[in-house]
Structure 1
Amino acid sequence: MQDVILLVSTSAIFIFGYFLMNKLDVFLENNWNRQETALTYGENSLRIGFSNPFMAGGLADTFETYGKQHPDVSIHIFSGEESELCRELETHKLDIIFLPENTDISKKTHYNARMVLLRCAPVVMEYADFPIEPITQNQITQIALWRDSKKSPVIDFFIGCLNKFAVDQSQM
């Protein structure tokens, strides 16, 4: 009799655990989707992509100025290949991207563009807390690209902060 009671109670615990884990999986999946949606389409976020992650450090002062003026906006920095960054800009998953000046840009999508001079800055590896130092100390010309969007005040203020890095096209 004890064996039957033990078998029934153990089976009930496993069945309850199975249903509980299914509920947890659904909750986690929904939470993940909400976070991804908030990151992709969040009104209070500015998503910036760089083809060269060393360039992000060159904008540290700009990020600081922007953060003081817009403390409610979170800045997310991404890095990837030029084609990936352009695709993410087209699909509104990124707000602004920085590419090398000689990048071939698709003509089928209208972009706003500004040439900027940025200096490479060290990047610190997240897990090893180990800095990676750039070899060049020269300023490098980059193209800042962005699309018109409903969030333009957030983007426009950041673009305004880039004025001190702007390249005079007539001198090139």
Structure 2
Amino acid sequence: MQDVILLVSTSAIFIFGYFMVKKLDAFLENNWNEQEHALIHGENSLKIGFSNPLMADSLSDVLETYGKQHPDVFIHIFSGEDSELCRELETHKLDIIFLPENTAVSEKIHYNARIVILRCTPVVMKYAGLSIEPIAQNHITQKALWRNSKNTPVIDSFVGCMNRLAVNQSQM
């Protein structure tokens, strides 16, 4: 008799657990899809792309200032090849990109541009904890590109914070 009760109770717990895990999976999948949609179309997010991830730390002061002014905006940093970044800017998946100064950009992209000076800084590998050190410690001229739109207060505010990095064209 005890064996039957034990078997029935264990089966009930297993079935209950199975349905709970199914509900949890559905919840997590839905949450993942909402977050992905918010990342792509979110008004409270700023998506920045770099062709060289060693340049990202150059904006740490700008990001800190911007974060204090806009604590409700989530900042996402991406890296990729120049052509990928341009395509993502064109399709509105990235808000601002940083490319080498001499990079050719498609004429069909309507963008604003500003020349900025950034520097390569060490980055730490996520899982190994090893530092990747740049060989050159000098400053590198980059081209910042962002969409040309009237409804971009998040981007416009970031560009305003970035003004101190801008190069005056008469200095070149």
Query: How far is 1:54 from its partner?
Result: 0.8
Q: Aligned letter for 2:26? A: V
Q: 1:62 matched to which residue of 2?
A: 62
Q: 1:157 matched to which residue of 2?
A: 157
Structure 2: stretches of 5+ with no match in the other structure: none
Q: Aligned letter for 1:81? A: E
Q: Matches of 1:10 and 1:129 in 2, distance apart?
A: 44
Q: 2:37 matched to which residue of 1?
A: 37
Q: 1:101 matched to which residue of 2?
A: 101
Instruction: Name whichever of 96-105 and 6-15 sits farther off.
Output: 6-15
Deviations 1:22-66 (A, max 9, x none): 444332221111010111222221110101001111111111111
Structure 1: stretches of 5+ with no match in the other structure: none
Q: Matches of 1:133 and 1:4 in 2, distance apart?
A: 66
Q: 1:145 matched to which residue of 2?
A: 145
Instruction: Name whichever of 14-23 and 120-129 sits farther off.
Output: 14-23
Query: How many residues in Structure 1 have an aligned counterpart in Structure 2?
Result: 172
Say if 1:41 and 1:149 are closer, same or farther in 2 by CA, change over 3 A.
farther
> Normalising to structure 2: TM-score of the pair?
0.84
- Identity, % of aligned pairs? 77
Q: 1:115 matched to which residue of 2?
A: 115
Q: Matches of 2:48 and 2:128 in 1, distance apart?
A: 24
> Normalising to structure 1: TM-score of the pair?
0.84
Say if 1:33 and 1:100 are closer, same or farther in 2 by CA, change over 3 A.
same
- Quote the RMSD (CA, aligned, Å): 2.3
Q: Matches of 1:117 and 1:104 in 2, distance apart?
A: 18
